C-alpha cells in the first residue's frame, strides 16, 4: 500500500505538472530576466534548465505580459520554443554569431555611388507617414486578431501594387503561413539577376501589442514605423530602376511580440534548407528621436562584422550634407527583436535602432504608441536611406545593362576646366534637368533650362568623383553617370 500510495502521489504530481504546462508555452530567455520574473510572478514561470546565462522556461501568457510590463521596455525578451526539448537544446547551443559561416562568406564593399546617391533623393517622408497612419488605423495588430491577419493580407496587396506600378516582373509577394500563430508573415522577393541563390534580407514586425489589457494597440512606432521604412526604401529602389545581382527579400514578420514566432520559423526553415542568406538587417522602431545620435546600432545578438559595415555605409554616404546621419551603439536584451532569430541560425544580422536603449519611445506597448506623438517621420526617413544603401551595396547592381545604362552610354558628358560639357542628342530623349552630386550626396549643381547640347559653367569643385543624374521626359527614373574632376 505504501508503494502504491507513493506511486499514486508521483503520478498526480506528474499529471499536475503536465496539465500546468499545457496552459502555457516553452521559451528561452536570459537567466537575469527569468529570476526577476520568478520573484515578481512565481506562478507564471518555471525554470526548467540553465546553461551559462540562458534558461529554458515554461511560462504563461500572463507571465509574458508581466515580463513586458514590469521588467523589459522593448521586445518580448524571450524566444518561443515548440517544446521543452527544443528549449533545452537551444540553450545548450548558444546563439553566437558564426562569423566564419560559409553561407555568409561575403566581402562587403562600397562601390555603388552611382545608384545610391540618386536613390537617397527619391525617399519621401510623406510616404512613410502615410503608411504608419495606415497601419495605426487597424487599432491593433495583435497576432491572434482578425485585424492582424487582415493587415498582412493588405500589405501583400500594397507591395504587389507597388511592384506593378514600376513594371517589376522580377518581383513576387507571398504570405508565409506559420505553425504557432494564425497571422501570416509577408515576404516580397526581388529575384537576383546574376546570383539569385544568395539572399539579402531586411525586415520588421507587422504585429503590435498592448500591456494595458485592452484591444487598442496602434503600434505606430513599434513597429508600423519599421514596416513603413522598409517599404519606402524598396519603393525608391524601384523608382531608380535598381536590378540586384543577389536576391533581395523584404519581410514583415508575424507575431514578434510573443517571442519572435514569425521570424524564428522563417529563419529556421531557411537554415534547414541551407538558404544562403549573406546579410540581414532588422528595422524595429525608427520613428522616435530620443538620443543625440540618429541611429543606435544594437551590439548584442548581432554581427560585429555586419554592424561595422553598416556604420561604414553611413560614414561614406551620410557623413554630412542633406543626407547626414549620426550614429552610436547600445545594447538591447535577450530576444528583443527579430534579428535574434537569424543570429540563432548562424546568419549575420544587424539591428539599427531609433535611439540608445532606454532613451527610446516610452509609449510602446500602450494605447499611446501613436503617430501623433511625433507628427513627423523625418527620423524614420534616415533609416529608410540606410536601408536603401544596405540593399543596393550588398545586393549590388546587376552587370547586365539596363535601359538607362544603354542610354547613358550614348550620352557625352564630361567636366573639364570648370565647365560641364554635354551632348544628349544621340539619346533621342527630351531632357528635363541635370543634377550634379558630390560623392557624399550633396547637390553641387542643377539646371532645368537646358538644350540638348551645351557647355555650362560650374561652381568651383574639389577633385574627386561626382555623380550626374539626367531626368528625361516621360520617365521618373534618372540616367546616372559617374564623372571625375581632376
Residues forming the active site: 205, 222, 256-257, 284, 365
Beta-bridged to residue 18, according to DSSP, are: none
DSSP conformation letters of 162-198: HHHHTT-TTEEEEEE--SS-SSPEEEEEE--SSEEEE
Query: How far is residue 469's CA from residue 79's CA, in Å, rounded to a whole number?
Result: 47
DSSP letter at 426 equals G
Tell me the CA distances in angstroms from 44 to 38, 56, 306, 351, one per residue in order: 8, 14, 37, 30
301 — phi, psi (to 5°)? 60, 25
**Shortest CA distance to 360 belongs to which of 301, 307, 299, 286?**
286
Q: Where are the alpha helices (DSSP H) in 348-402?
A: 378-395
Phi, psi of 248 (to 5 degrees): -105, 135
Phi, psi of 442 (to 5 degrees): -85, 130
Collapsing DSSP to helix, strand or coil, 385 comes out as helix
Q: How far apart are CA 153 and CA 142, in angstroms?
A: 14
Listed as own residue / partner, the contacts of 169-172 with beta carbons closer than 8 Å and 24 or more positions apart are 170/243
**Closest alpha carbon to 223 in 235, 203, 207:** 207
Rounded CA separation 135/151 (Å)? 7
For the range 61-70, what are the long-range contacts, defined as Cβ-Cβ under 8 Å and sequence gap of 24 or more? 61/24, 61/25, 63/24, 63/37, 64/258, 64/259, 65/211, 66/37, 66/40, 66/41, 67/33, 67/37, 68/209, 68/211, 68/365, 69/211, 69/365, 70/40
Amino acid at each position: 500500500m505504501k508503494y502504491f500510495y507513493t506511486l499514486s502521489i508521483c503520478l498526480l504530481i506528474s499529471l499536475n505538472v503536465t496539465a500546468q504546462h499545457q496552459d502555457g508555452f516553452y521559451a528561452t530567455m536570459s537567466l537575469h530576466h527569468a529570476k526577476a520574473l520568478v520573484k515578481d510572478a512565481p506562478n507564471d514561470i518555471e525554470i526548467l534548465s540553465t546553461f551559462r546565462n540562458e534558461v529554458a522556461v515554461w511560462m504563461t501568457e500572463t507571465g509574458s505580459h508581466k515580463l513586458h510590463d514590469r521588467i523589459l521596455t522593448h521586445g518580448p525578451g524571450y524566444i518561443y520554443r515548440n517544446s521543452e526539448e527544443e528549449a533545452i537544446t537551444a540553450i545548450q547551443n548558444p546563439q553566437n554569431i558564426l562569423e566564419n559561416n560559409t553561407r555568409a562568406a561575403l566581402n562587403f564593399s562600397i562601390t555603388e555611388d552611382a545608384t545610391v546617391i540618386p536613390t537617397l533623393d527619391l525617399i519621401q517622408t510623406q510616404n512613410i507617414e502615410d503608411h504608419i497612419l495606415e497601419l495605426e488605423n487597424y487599432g491593433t495588430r495583435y497576432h491572434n486578431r482578425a485585424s492582424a491577419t487582415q493587415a498582412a493580407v493588405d500589405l501583400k496587396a500594397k507591395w504587389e501594387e507597388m511592384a506593378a506600378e514600376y513594371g517589376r516582373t522580377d518581383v513576387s509577394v507571398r504570405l508565409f503561413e506559420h505553425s504557432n500563430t494564425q497571422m501570416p508573415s509577408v515576404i516580397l522577393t526581388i529575384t537576383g539577376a546574376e546570383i539569385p541563390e544568395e539572399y539579402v534580407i531586411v525586415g520588421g514586425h507587422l504585429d503590435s501589442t498592448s500591456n494595458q489589457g485592452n484591444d487598442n494597440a496602434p503600434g505606430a512606432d513599434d513597429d508600423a514605423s519599421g514596416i513603413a521604412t522598409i517599404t519606402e526604401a524598396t519603393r525608391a529602389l524601384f523608382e531608380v530602376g535598381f536590378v540586384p545581382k543577389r536576391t533581395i527579400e523584404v519581410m514583415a514578420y508575424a507575431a514578434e511580440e510573443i517571442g519572435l514566432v514569425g521570424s524564428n520559423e522563417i529563419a529556421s526553415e531557411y537554415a534547414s534548407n541551407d538558404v544562403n542568406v549573406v546579410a540581414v538587417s532588422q528595422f524595429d522602431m525608427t520613428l522616435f528621436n530620443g538620443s543625440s545620435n540618429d541611429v543606435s546600432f544594437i551590439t548584442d545578438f548581432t554581427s560585429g562584422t555586419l554592424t561595422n559595415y553598416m556604420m561604414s555605409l553611413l560614414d561614406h554616404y551620410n557623413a554630412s550634407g542633406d543626407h547626414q546621419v549620426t550614429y552610436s551603439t547600445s545594447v538591447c536584451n535577450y530576444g528583443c527583436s527579430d534579428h535574434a532569430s537569424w543570429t540563432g541560425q548562424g546568419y549575420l544580422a544587424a539591428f539599427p535602432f531609433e535611439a540608445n536603449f532606454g532613451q527610446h519611445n516610452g509609449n510602446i506597448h500602450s494605447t499611446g504608441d501613436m503617430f501623433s506623438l511625433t507628427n513627423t517621420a523625418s527620423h524614420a526617413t534616415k533609416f529608410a536611406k540606410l536601408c536603401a544603401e544596405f540593399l543596393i551595396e550588398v545586393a549590388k547592381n546587376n552587370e547586365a545593362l539596363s535601359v538607362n545604362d544603354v542610354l547613358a552610354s550614348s550620352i557625352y558628358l564630361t567636366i573639364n576646366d570648370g565647365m560641364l560639357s554635354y551632348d544628349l542628342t544621340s539619346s533621342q530623349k527630351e531632357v528635363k534637368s541635370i543634377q550634379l552630386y558630390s560623392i557624399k550626396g550633396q547637390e553641387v549643381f542643377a539646371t532645368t533650362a537646358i538644350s540638348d547640347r551645351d557647355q555650362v559653367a560650374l561652381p568651383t569643385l574639389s577633385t574627386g568623383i561626382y555623380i550626374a543624374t539626367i531626368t528625361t521626359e516621360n520617365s521618373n527614373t534618372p540616367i546616372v553617370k559617374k564623372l571625375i574632376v581632376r
